[in-house]
Amino acid sequence: MSIFSFNDNINIDDKNMDDNNNAKLLEYYLECKNHYNAIERNLDVIMYHYYCLKEKDYGAYVANVKEDSFIQWNVFKEHKKDVLNNKKICNAKINELCHHVYDTDTIDIDPDKSCTIVFCTICGNTK
């Protein structure tokens, strides 16, 4: 069972739902997406450190520490799968709810290079 759960059964096509409710749902999913991004970054850091512990060879006297690190790494790997799935659900809901307003901007990649991007000013979605 996942420790991360997400309610993806909200029906956004309900004809009785007004724009205010859509805006609140969009705000909710954008907030969820931000938190899931932060959780994913933190899980990556945690997994990296567990991976480093399990890859070190300090001899047989620390074999149990290595085994524990491997088990913990796998646990966090499963949590990351849950987070990625929830992010996917968030993105789908955001795309359904947002009335995209796209804008174009130029981003400097380095002092001599720039890149043009097209993004939604409401939800941040890029084309």
Q: Is the pTM of this model over 0.85?
A: no
CB 81 within 8 Å of CB 41: no
Distance of CA 62 to the CA centre of its chain: 34
Residue whose structure tokens are 């205010």: 20
User: What are the tens digits of pLDDT across the range 70-79?
Assistant: 788 888 899 9
User: What are the tens digits of pLDDT across the range 86-124?
Assistant: 999 999 999 999 999 999 999 898 889 999 999 999 999
Read off the tokens for 45.
């850091």
